[in-house]
Structure 1
Amino acid sequence: MIPKNTICLWFNDDALDAAKFYAATFPDSAVGEVHHAPGDFPGGQAGKVLTVQFTVLGIPCLGLNGGPVFPQTEAFSFQVATDDQDETDRYWNAIVGNGGKESECGWCKDKWGVSWQITPRVLTEAFRDPDRAAAKRAFEAMMTMRKIDVAAIEAARRG
């Protein structure tokens, strides 16, 4: 079944590899139908994988092997809310340890260039704190981090 709304991610030629990685890394994720090109196209030849249907954390996606014309940018990212440091570390390490790259403030990129925000819930809660000074301390602590350190955010929030 084709969902009403699907996120389409453009890949060079490895959408299937990315979909398999996401399915193995995140819960409620799976690889669905794989469609092969019926004819040559700008990014490939007839018979090559053209699209891959998959889900990431329950979100329907379509991977399109369109060639190198449109690279991924931070203008799109998956934001993953984590419950604790162990979950934060697990996702971060899976992405970065599989050829990805660290960035700032909980952001990283996988080896296909897709951006991810691995965001502990305590960080989001800190930003919503009615004590704006506590929210600011948590924000300032986050600004010094790559992977988010849950204990450091909690300590900053407490002051």
Structure 2
Amino acid sequence: MSTITPFLWFDTQAEEAANFYVGLFPNSRMLSTTPAPDGTPDSSAGGVLTVEFELDGVRFTGLNGGPHFRFTEAVSFVIDCADQAEVDRYWEALLADGGEESQCGWLKDRFGLSWQVVPKQLNELLGDPDPGRSSRAMKAMLQMRKLDVAALQAAADAP
């Protein structure tokens, strides 16, 4: 059976990023590294060419491919959070050491990878059958950087 594996192009930090992500997400582990053969462009001999790892059971491959390509917000990973405490934990950890906030629960980590840190309550509010509640929750979300469950709920409940 075929599988689909996200393949992430880093400049030189694939192993560092993989170790960071594995330490952050539960049920995660490093699987393997492949050394860069002599003559590999943009790699030093003996350095790591690829690293394979799992994040919460999902397999990823990271490549040290050099500075030719960068991540953009066109591709991001969504973290479905159980509550505000989980939102806060992931938000702070992913922003640490040079990450960058965006809007509506989006951020870039220090490696330039985009993440959406989303509480499960947001989808519940946006899917509310009352169009007024869902609209008010959407308007509140559009004003936020880190998503705030209590503020989203208060906006949805407002008259």
TM-score (normalizing by structure 1)? 0.94
Q: Percent identity?
A: 48
RMSD: 1.2
**Structure 2: unaligned runs, 5 residues or longer:** none
1:64 equivalent in structure 2? 63
Equivalent residue, structure 2, for 1:128: 127
Query: Is contact 2:104-2:142 (8 Å) kept?
Result: yes
Output the amino acid matched with 1:17: E
- Tell me the distance in 2 between the aligned counterparts of 1:53 and 1:147: 30
Instruction: Please name the residue that 1:116 is paired with.
Output: 115
2:34 equivalent in structure 1: 35
Q: Look up the SS of the partner of 1:51 in the other structure.
A: strand
Aligned to 1:95: 94
The alignment of Structure 1 onto Structure 2 pairs a total of residues equal to 157
Residues 1:106 and 2:115 are matched in the alignment: no
CA separation in 2, counterparts of 1:140 and 1:94?
27
Using the alignment, how far apart are the partners of 2:132 and 2:42 within structure 1? 51
Normalised to the residue count of structure 2, the TM-score between the two structures is 0.94
User: For the residues of structure 2 that align with 1:129 and 1:86, how far apart are their CA atoms?
Assistant: 23
For structure 1, the 5+ residue unaligned runs are none
The structure 1 segments of at least 4 consecutive aligned residues displaced by more than 3 Å after TM superposition are: none
SS of 2:51's equivalent in the other structure is strand
Q: Which residue of 1 aligns with 2:154?
A: 155
Tell me which residue corresponds to 2:10.
Answer: 11
Which letter maps to 1:66? G
